[in-house]
Amino acid sequence: MQFLRWSKLVCEKLWSEKYWADITDPCSGQPYFGQASSTIYADINANMVLLKYDSEDVGGCRVMAHPEWRFHSYPATLFTSAPFETLSAVLYSVNTTSK
């Protein structure tokens, strides 16, 4: 399943349960579904620091290298106000019913 379609399904389920949720656009660092602001979230930097992923400079742009899939991955981040148990249930539901 494509990431944007998957993330929209996850966010919609969380929204329906009255939780805030959004993903970041890794190109701009801005919210994908919400309103843009002057604050950005750098997915590549976060993946390097938090997950210890490598990155490479490709034409002046940092590109994340996933440990298994290398450059065949999409480094977006999902944020939510939902508790872990709710998020886990939503992820399970989307991953098992939306293939």
Q: What are 13-58's pLDDT values in tens digits? A: 999 999 999 999 888 889 999 998 898 888 888 888 998 988 888 8
Q: Give the model's pLDDT for residue 31.
A: 92
Task: Please give the mean pLDDT across all residues of the chain.
Answer: 90
Among 93, 37, 49, 59, residue whose Cα is nearest residue 24: 37
Q: 95 falls in which pLDDT band (50, 70, 90)? A: very high
Average pLDDT estimate for 78-82:
96
pTM of the model: 0.80
Between CA 70 and CA 57 the distance in angstroms is 13
> Residue 25, SS3?
coil
pLDDT at residue 79 above 60? Answer: yes
